[in-house]
Structure 1
Amino acid sequence: MAIARDFSLDAKYRREEGLIFLSGIQALVRLPLDQHRADKRRGLDTATLISGYRGSPLGGLDLTLERNGELLREHNVVFLSGLNEDLGATAIYGSQLANLFPRPKYDGVLGMWYGKGPGVDRTGDIFKHANFAGVGKQGGVLALGGDDPLSKSSTLPTHSEVAFYDALFPVLFPGNIQEILDLGRLGFELSRYSGLWVGFKIVTNVADEVGTAEVAPHRVVVTDPGFLFEGRPWQAQQQPMLMPPFGLETERLIHYGRLEAARAFAAANGINRIAVPTPEAWLGIVAAGKTYYDLREALGELGLDDAALRRYGIRILKLGMLFPMEPGIVREFARGLEELLVIEEKRAFTELFIRDVLYNQSERPRVVGKHDEEGRILVPANGELDADRIAQLVASRLERKLHLDSITARVALLEALRERPAPRTLVRQPYFCSGCPHNRSTVVPEGSIAAAGIGCHGMALYMDRNTYGLTHMGGEGAQWVGMAPFTETPHIFQNLGDGTFFHSGSLAIRQAVAAGTNVTYKILYNSAVAMTGGQDAAGAMPVPELTRALEAEGVKRIVVMTDELDQYPKGTRWARGVEVWHRDRLDEAQRVLREVPGVTVLIYDQRCAAEKRRLRKRGKLPDPAMRVYINEAVCEGCGDCGVKSNCLSVHPVETEFGRKTQIHQSSCNKDYSCLRGDCPSFLTVIPRGTAKKKERRLFTVDRALPEPALKVSRQCSIFMTGIGGTGVVTVNQILGTAALLDGQHVRGLDQTGLSQKGGPVVSHLKISERPEEVSSKVAAGEADGYLGFDILVATSPQSLDHARPDKTIAVVSTSQVPT
């Protein structure tokens, strides 16, 4: 059914019934609004606090929340960006204590914490304390753990369910946008009922998903499980006294009360379900969250729809709650099976709980997962599982009993793709933006060594800059404290982003001061958390105040470098002895500081180039009139300007006189570092007068357009490739919205990774007439449409795997962008 033409982009948040189109991040923004609406229908006046710390795959959550401030206020939602994950969680803990203070404003306060995998790890202590204390009356907490299983934008691959389990959180795992909304609502209700914080595992491919979802006021109906504890109806109780001996009694209450209440709630509300209840099955397959939809995609590609699964004796269990395991449904599912196969990413987790449930059963199936019955590796514990990988391992179990042409053909295709020789092709390597401060700030003097840190400046590790090592966020330099006594190297430079400094890195400087270590911290002050969307750093202070704070910590000497000396007015209150130099004196400043015993600091103050460009476009920052050009007739093509500036806007160009160099004007951010070469071919041009503003042309349809002829079936898949800035994500959003307006259902995925730094972008889109239990990714050889926005990414083997000569229609741009 087509959507009415009064459609608006905020329908994703405001529409209360029907079909909506949104991303995984936008679904997380809508979730507390839906909970508030449900509470209001019950006559409850509740509010919500959201806090945490940004980081992929939840990097855009805080920006999306900030852009919808009016909407949040309408639903009593307060958003406070945490200084770091630990303090954000402590604020959420506080929200659950508000009901215990005099004169509470609301009937209850809900909490939603967010953080990426490493943030989950660092927040374990407050998680445990807050979970022991319980949730407030008519409250409840969801803790969103952002997992990046392929480590696309994280230093390490993560899976947060283990940390949530350690804190004794029930763990829910939504597999798509619809489940973020539905399972998220049940998660708040589960927390409220059990008195426990609830972990909500969000993997990259769910956070980055785009698609349609059904919404309705009574879509989620909550059932009271009627759980009895010690002979009385269960009622969750808070225990804010976290001193001995009260903790021991609370520990007993958690294990035998709250967690059992969570199991009962899951059973009563169908959080886990037998998706294909084949009566006389020999094989049972268990999967959860995103992996469940990858499994269904894999089975479909093997030619096994629901009817075929029943015909061939295969049963499927879909888990929504990973912990605590619901024993009743596991026993029901396992009854009569010969083999139970558990498919999950990373190390065994649900597999262990399933084994534990079935261990004492007199009749139980063989349970396989990470290893088969002979101890051989079956389901990999490394990397990410997708439909193609799952298809191969499921086929290996099925082919012992089934011999189907569809299985043989699919496995043959996947094996051929896996075993083909890898062609020698160029790849898109993420890099500093044009005019990025780090192009210059991460250079060290001859004879010196630098240590990398968390942030986009860490890409210096890919370059020939004598930069080594990496530690976790906030530990920058503390590793050198431990190395220094055992090496003849007298000193290092430690790169430290301003966002990391205000997050937790200031403590590392304090540690280095306390240890008397010889180190120069280079605080790269670019006024934005550039890796996750350009947000302001939480808790940031201006540079002059920062110098005074560093002086108070015991830093021996501080030099401030800047590209705009006049930005600091006369009379600025600096710390004693601070010198402010132009960035051109960077090498000199570093040579001076490395000779000073103890801890010194160089603050490199230059705004992020990408944010500077955005602010100029919005008229919030002056746009310099001067432009740089290269006279190709004079240029000798030596490339020195590219070496000096390290800038992506310095392009090679082929001419009739050989290879020369030019400035790519549309990407140039006017940093002017390329002028350092003092080359006679460079021209600086300042236009006279003011540029005329172009009139915005509006596209109008002045005649009836015929319906296009369909080249594919109504159920189709589109695969798109490009690099950051080529519009791949925008096109995916436009096509998805158009499908919504046509009454179609959509599942898609935007794999952006390090797109903000020129890295590759890949988008998937599936359109169907009804909701389908499929993966958000286009499987190997299944693309009907193939759109290449960048020829290098489009021709990479990983991208071409999705196309098939007899099926795919491709449209590829042949324009060349240097890498």
Structure 2
Amino acid sequence: MKAAPRFTQASGVEVFTGNELLVKGCLEVEGGTHLWTGYPGSPVAGFFDTAHDIGELLREHGIRATMANNEALAAAMVNGSQMHGLRAISVQKSVGVHVATDALALGNLVGAHPQGGAVIVLGDDPWSDSTQVPADSRYIAKHLMMPVLEPSDAQELKDWINLAFKLSRESELYIGYLVTTNQADGGGSVEVRPNQFPVINAANKFTLDTSKIDFERNVLLPPRTWRKEQQIHERFERLWASARRLGAHRIEPARTDTNALARLGFVSSAAAYCYLRHALAEMGLDGHFPILKVGVTYPLDPGLILEFAAGLRALYVIEERRGFLEEQIVEILQRARQTADHESRPLPAEVWGKVFPLGLRGIPETRGLNPSKLIGRLGPLFLSLTELRGRFDERRVRAELDLIAEVKAVNLNLAPRTPTFCPGCPHRDSASVLLEIKRQFRDAGYMRRMHGTGPVDLVFHGDTGCYTMLMFEPTKDLMHNYSGMGLGGGTGAGIDPFIRNKQVVFMGDSTFFHSGQIAISNSLKNGQDITYILLDNKTTAMTGHQTTPALEEGLSGEKTFAQSIDAIIAGITDQTHSGATVVRVNPAEVASYRALLEKTILQDGVKVVVADKECGITFHRRAAREERKTVRALGFLPRKRYIHITAEVCENCLECTKATGCPGLTFEDTPYGRKVQTDLSWCVADGACTRFEVAPDPAGPRVKACPSFEEIIITRRQRPHSPLEQLDFSRLTAPSAPKLDRVWRGYLAGVGGMGIGTATAILVLAGHREGYRIQYCDKKGLAIRNGGVYSMITYAPPGAPFTSNLIPYGKADLLVGVDVLEAARALDPSTNQRVGSRRHTAVVVNTHKTPTILTLLGQDDFEVTRLEALLREHTRAEAYFSVDVSRLSERFFGTQLYANIMMLGVAFQRGLLPLSLASLEWAIHSGLGAAAGENLKAFHLGRYVAHDLATVQAAAGEFREPRAYAEVLADKAAILSRTRGGAELSRAYEELVRQTAEDLPDDPELRGDFARRVYDLVQFEDLNYARRYVELVRGISLADRLEHRYAATRAVIWNLHKVMAIKDEVYVAHLLTSEEKHRRDRARYQVDPARGDRIAYRHLNRPQFTILGRDIAWDLKTRDWMLRLVKHMKWLRRALPEWHRPEKEFREWYAAVAGRFAEFATDPARYALFVRILNLPEAITGYREIRYPKMAAAREQGERWLAELRTGAPARRFALA
């Protein structure tokens, strides 16, 4: 892959992400760099992705870019490079620095080569959003005596790579280069310089003359160790001198007399400096106080501190995390006082930081900082200091504090959105099976019947990788502890000698090569009883799909030796005759995989199960590329396979969501209530939701939960008709782009996978073309795995006040919510992204509901209408726009994944983006390459949505089931008329419905529900069966009362139908082949038979029949023709009296109870309790083994309530919900 022109550009201004800036900085280093290494981890994993993207450029110039197996090896590689004048950089996250400390301690003490240089990038996550322990790598560096250089903004992030190498070689020390999440995941506009490439390189090697090796320097062991330590201070002094000469520090004097009496000064560094300047600017105080901006934060230069402190009364240290700078400053000042004489300049009496004077709150020492946090701490300080009174605009400061208070006062209680495995993830295959195994292993009856042993309580040890998400629902019982990467087995070794439990640990192939193989060896040595579930998915998936040692291609595209996991494990186990079990299996083959796991886990000793399945993302990305290639060639896909759920057959029991936790499942509202459905945009049709089995009774057999799943094959002969052809885009006129004379801030919110980063990239490119200075920040890390994500973007015209890449609380000018829940989170005072406010924020929000994992599990739901109300209330109501963009995207493009670009079109057309049409179209072309065509269509469709929503909705032609009474009655009568002997049946149906509908409450939708359900029962059996339903409903309706809003009538219309329309194999066959289903499916998949389109069904059934007291069941993939035969076999209900007996008995019980309604209709409390009885079937969901326990519980509860009614008034007062 050729490097993007930005990376070879020699001058001018370009925009880069934070990680790209690290790469471009390496390319610009004087004399070039030789070795790039490290190990990926948030927030610096993008460094390796970028290195891979420009691999051709690196190979051309002999730059060696390679991922080490772990961070310690990367540090050792840097050590090796310093045998000669080579420049090497190692990149890792903070916990990776922990891994590398031994090699770094030795390397730094030995020292960097005076013609080379060693830079160690320390990726810190101050907010602890995606790192397991609080990160502050400065303290580790101090322990290693390794200097720390902290860049602040995007320009320094790039340029100071060169500075770091200069400092390294001039001081002969390694330089820790600290980069935080908001820097690495951010980015912005920078000035670029020419690239430089090394003369000595991988393509131009030299011979190392070993006779000239300085053993005293290079081989560091006692007594050389203490001699080297004695030289450290002299090397620090060289570092300080170089840092001053090279401009690593900056003293910014005050430009006003505000501070003349107070004489306070600020010391800051890194991103905290940007937040400080930004906070002061928002309060109108930028330039009012002197600031010492420190570059080298360890070791602090005493002379620099004393120079700045001279003449000041107090120093205020502004830094993220603990008081690292503050401690050093206090020590420097204290030593200066101890050595002062009468000629010494006076020193500040006070140093403040984590504590402020006057009892005010100081700078937080946990989590990170942002401009608003500093406004909240510095504003009260400025207002309280008597020496500052009357010397600045106090009203402006109070206004800023008032805005923070206003935003904080918003009362929200939002559903959390936790990350989870991606659709198609092989970890889900393992997790689903092991959840069920764990549950059944604890059951004594199951273990005695299946394994002839007692119950087993499985212990699961945690490890690092995508499988770390086991900590979240629904899989949290598969992770009981956590010690770090490759250490799950070691954690087990500490408890193994003392417990009888069988133990399991998940591991990935990248972790195996990082450190996991050592853990397996350790388990063997210690005789552990543990099973390793080792996923071989051929990628470093968690951090962005970098290469692994098992692949034949390295980071920059070079050919490498592909190592075999099996061979390595065999070398550990077979050669030692350990007796360990090692087996490779496809985890998607659920039945055999489960049997293997049960057998293997119960064996004694160390077992390794290699789950061999490619990462779902890489597999389906490749498949999607092939599909796009076909579409470009033919204009359409001739064949496409889907997994589909028939809503009428689904019971909403949630067994599928609980077993898989797959975000490819969603909910849809139907005339029968909420049902589970596959999400066309997220589902990858891997079939995980179709393969699972459940054991409602742990001691009993596992059963197939549901017959509603099916495979659908769509075949086409020509390009489908596009609704876009019905829209006249020439009607669109571009709004005049507002002239930007101030800082503009936009916030995009969504769910990982919705394209928030893509939309941000387009806005970044468009703003860059407009000539704005760009700064932005994305939320990535763990959240990209279906968690909540956001992007902040800032445009600053020339001459604008100082700003950082973060949006202060309440100051977003525009909130684009691709997901409504995550948009509402931009108002949540419990987060640090509370950017929306009534004063500033316009909103464009997508009202489509994307369930959280907890919502899919039935544990934590949310209402879109409530979220919309909150958004309207707490933002600019006159600048609010909402529509279900996802649904429109799906209708026009066959997927919801264009919603992000459509929303940019909406925002543009409403005049909310300070961008020209030309800049946005250029950005889409430049940023999206071959995908630009469809995305431009989406952008202009979004403009049309803002221009004329009604016309767009009409063009979408979305099919909706009839809901009102007249529509339902006509529709169902027409369907019946098309059946055998249908004319007479249709007339009889209409007459039956009309006779009773007139006696029902005057509610068109309720009467529609009634008409639909009468029709269902005609289809289930016949008119006489439906007449029984009608008579019961009519009787209750006549006894019901308006004062109760006819609650009993509504309850019996829904629930009597639910118990009478028994979903036996005959009725399910009808539902799976009904005319209603087929027309709905044609609309969903945009199938037009007239154009040659076809749908082929493969229904995934498990029919069961009870014959002579025995249940006979088997798995069967049925076709429509087979089910059409079965749906006419209503005689089976009479021929097999034991078949579905529990449902029939419950039907009779419920009908008898409902018939007694008139006895209790007059007393309000008894009426309310009886309505509860009528609503009991609502909780009865699922089929057979899943349904029957709920049915029994409902009947038992109903009998208790009936007993209360029979004895008189209810024991407690009931009210209608």
Instruction: Using structure 1 for the length normalisation, give the TM-score.
Output: 0.86
The gaps in structure 2 that reach 5 residues or longer are 197-213, 341-345, 443-457, 552-562, 631-636, 692-703, 853-1217
1:29-108 equivalence runs, <5 A: 29-35=23-29, 38-39=30-31, 46-97=32-83, 99=84, 108=85
Is 2:14 the partner of 1:20? Answer: yes
Q: Is the 8 A contact 2:360 2:380 kept in 1?
A: no
How big is the shift at 1:383?
Answer: 0.8
Q: Is the 8 A contact 1:746 1:765 kept in 2?
A: yes
Residue deviations 1:285-307, cap 9 Å, x none?
1110100000111112222122x
For residues 618 and 383 of structure 2, the distance between their equivalents in structure 1, rounded to whole angstroms, comes to: 55
* 1:735 paired to 2:763: yes
* Residue of structure 2 in register with 1:658 after alignment: 673
Contact 1:437 1:606 (C-alpha < 8 Å) held by counterparts:
yes
Q: Secondary structure at the match of 1:602?
A: strand
**Residue 768 (structure 1) aligns with:** 796
Q: Work out whether residues 16 and 216 of structure 1, in 8 Å CA contact, stay in contact via their aligned partners in 2.
A: yes
Is 1:136 matched up with 2:113?
yes
What amino acid is aligned across from residue 253 of structure 1 in structure 2? Q
- Please name the residue that 2:841 is paired with: 808
Q: Matched residues in 2 for 1:375 and 1:356: separation?
A: 23
Q: Which of 132, 152, 158 lines up with 1:181 in the alignment?
A: 158
Q: Which has the higher strand share?
A: 1
Q: CA deviation at 1:128?
A: 1.5
TM-superposed CA distance for 1:711, in Å, is: 7.3
Corresponding residue number in structure 1 for 2:379: 395
**Residue 221 of structure 2: SS of its match in structure 1?**
coil
- How do residues 255-334 of structure 1 correspond to structure 2 at under 5 angstroms? 255-256=233-234, 258-277=235-254, 280=260, 282-306=263-287, 309=288, 314-334=289-309
Instruction: Supply the distance in 2 between the matched residues of 1:289 and 1:512 (Cα, whole angstroms).
Output: 43
Please report how far the alpha carbon of residue 247 of structure 1 lies from its aligned counterpart in structure 2 after TM superposition.
Answer: 2.6
- The CA deviation at 1:87 is 0.4
Taking the TM superposition and a 5 Å limit, the aligned residue runs for 1:518-597 are 518-538=529-549, 541-542=563-564, 544-552=566-574, 554=578, 556-563=580-587, 582-597=589-604
User: Is 2:351 the counterpart of 1:367?
Assistant: yes
Aligned pairs, how many? Answer: 752
Match of 2:221 in 1: 243
Match of 1:437 among 414, 421, 426: 426
Larger C-alpha radius of gyration, 1 or 2?
2
- Aligned pairs for 1:617-656 (under 5 A) are 617-619=624-626, 626-656=641-671
CA 803–712 in structure 1, closer or farther in 2 if over 3 Å, else same: farther
User: How big is the alpha-carbon RMSD for the aligned residues of Structure 1 and Structure 2?
Assistant: 3.1
Following the alignment from structure 1 to structure 2, what is the Cα–Cα distance between the partners of residues 118 and 817?
33
Shift of 1:682: 2.5
Which whole-Å CA distance do the structure 2 matches of 1:652 and 1:358 have between them? 64
Compared CA separation, residues 211 and 801, structure 1 to 2 (3 A): same
Q: 1:485 to 1:706 in 2, by over 3 A?
A: closer
Determine which structure has greater relative contact order: mean sequence separation of CA pairs < 8 Å that are 6+ residues apart, divided by chain length. Answer: 1
Moved more, 509-518 or 800-809: 800-809
2:51–2:65 contact (8 Å) kept in structure 1:
yes
Instruction: Note if contact 2:3-2:53 (Cα within 8 Å) is conserved in structure 1.
Output: no
- Which residue is 1:509 aligned to? 520
Q: Partner amino acid for 2:621?
A: R
Aligned mates of 1:682, 1:412 — CA distance in 2: 54
| Aligned equivalents of 1:548, 1:707: Cα separation in 2 | 68
Q: Determine helix, strand or coil for the equivalent of 1:708.
A: coil
1:103 alignment counterpart: none
Q: 1:73 to 1:520 in 2, by over 3 A?
A: closer
User: CA contact under 8 A between 1:559 and 1:589: conserved in structure 2?
Assistant: no
**Structure 1 residue 684 corresponds to structure 2 residue 714:** no
Checking the alignment, whether the CA contact within 8 Å between 1:32 and 1:48 is kept in structure 2 is no
Structure 1 residue 374 displacement after superposition: 8.4
Structure 1: distance between partners of 2:523 and 2:215: 45
Q: Name the stretch that deviates more: 148-157 or 532-541.
A: 532-541
Tell me the residue number matched to 1:104: none
Alpha-carbon separation, structure 2, partners of 1:779 and 1:259: 38
User: How far 1:492 sits from its partner (Å)?
Assistant: 1.3
Residue 484 of structure 1: aligned partner: 496
Amino acid at match of 1:545: A
SS of the residue aligned with 1:495? strand
Contact preservation (8 Å) 1:723, 1:790: yes
Which has a greater percent of helix?
A: 2
Q: TM (normalized to structure 2)?
A: 0.59
Contact 1:427 1:792 in 2 (8 A): no
Q: Distance in 2 between matches of 1:788 and 1:561?
A: 42
Alignment-derived partner of residue 795 in structure 1: 824
State the percentage of identical aligned residues: 30
Q: Which of 732-741 and 400-409 deviates more?
A: 400-409
Distance between the aligned counterparts of 1:711 and 1:769, measured in 2?
A: 10
Could you say what secondary structure the match of 2:275 adopts? helix
Q: 1:241 to 1:632 in 2, by over 3 A?
A: closer
| Equivalent residues of 2:419, 2:785 under 8 A apart | yes
Q: Aligned to 1:254, which of 219, 232, 242?
A: 232
Could you say if the C-alpha distance between residues 285 and 73 of structure 1 is closer, same or farther in structure 2, counting changes exceeding 3 Å? same
- Match in the other structure for 2:606: 599
The structural deviation recorded for 1:174 is: 0.9
Query: Following the alignment from structure 1 to structure 2, what is the Cα–Cα distance between the partners of residues 371 and 586?
Result: 58
Could you report, residue by residue, the CA deviation over 1:75-108 in whole angstroms, capped at 9, with x for unpaired residues?
A: 44210110000001111111111x3xxxxxxxx4
Q: Which residue of 2 aligns with 1:168?
A: 145
Q: Does 1:499 align with 2:505?
A: no
Q: Which residue does the alignment assign to 2:688?
A: 673
User: Could you list the runs of 5+ residues in structure 1 that have no partner in the other structure?
Assistant: 1-7, 40-45, 100-107, 220-235, 565-581
Q: Is the 8 A contact 1:24 1:206 kept in 2?
A: yes
Instruction: Output the CA distance in 2 between the equivalents of 1:216 and 1:544.
Output: 47
Change (3 A) 1:520 1:769: same
Aligned-pair distance for 1:712?
5.9
Is residue 132–residue 239 contact of structure 1 (8 Å, CA) maintained in 2?
Answer: no
Letter in 2 for 1:364: L
Bigger Cα displacement from structure 2, 401-410 vs 274-283: 274-283
* Secondary structure in 1 matching 2:187: strand
Q: Secondary structure at the match of 1:754?
A: helix
Of 453, 459, 480, which residue of structure 2 is paired with 1:449? Answer: 459
Mark the CA change 1:440 to 1:144 in structure 2 (over 3 Å): closer, same or farther: same
Question: In 1, are the aligned partners of 2:419 and 2:472 still within 8 Å (CA)?
Answer: no
Residues 280, 286 of structure 2: 8 Å contact kept: yes
Measure the CA separation in 1 of the matches of 2:786 and 2:459.
Answer: 27
Alignment-mate amino acid for residue 355 of structure 1: V
> Following TM superposition, by how much is the alpha carbon of 1:62 offset from its aligned partner in structure 2, in angstroms?
1.0
Q: How far apart, in 1, do the equivalents of 2:718 and 2:565 lie?
A: 35
Which string of whole-angstrom CA distances, capped at 9 and with x for unpartnered residues, describes residues 758-808 of structure 1? 111111111112375422111012111221111000012338831222322
What is the CA deviation profile of residues 598-656 of structure 1, one whole-angstrom value per residue up to 9, with x for unaligned ones?
A: 21122222221112111212339999954322222333333333334332222221111
Cα distance change, pair 9–694 in 1 and its aligned pair in 2 (3 A): farther
Q: Deviations over 1:297-334 (max 9, x none)?
A: 1112222122xx1xxxx221111110121222211211
Q: Distance in 2 between matches of 1:594 and 1:736?
A: 52
The 1:245/1:693 distance shift into structure 2, 3 A limit, reads farther
CA distance in 1, matches of 2:731, 2:62: 47
Contact 1:140–1:191 (CA<8 Å) still a contact in 2?
Answer: yes
Looking at structure 1, the residues matched to 462 and 185 of structure 2 have their Cα atoms a distance apart, in angstroms, of 28
Task: State the 1:471 CA deviation.
Answer: 1.2
Q: For the structure 1 residues 705 and 183, does the alpha-carbon distance in structure 2 shift closer, same or farther, using more than 3 Å as the test?
A: farther
Does residue 724 (structure 1) correspond to residue 710 (structure 2)? The answer is no
Distance in 2 (alpha carbons) for counterparts of 1:78 and 1:694: 51
Q: 1:539 to 1:18 in 2, by over 3 A?
A: same
Q: Which amino acid aligns with 2:134?
A: P
For residues 6 and 160 of structure 2, the distance between their equivalents in structure 1, rounded to whole angstroms, comes to: 18
Whole-angstrom CA distance in 2 between matches of 1:137 and 1:597: 56
Provide closer, same or farther for how the CA distance between residues 331 and 433 of structure 1 changes in structure 2, counting only shifts above 3 A. same
Distance 2:9 2:801 in 1: 22
- Residue 343 in structure 1 maps to residue 324 in structure 2: no
Quick check: 1:462 aligned with 2:446?
Answer: no
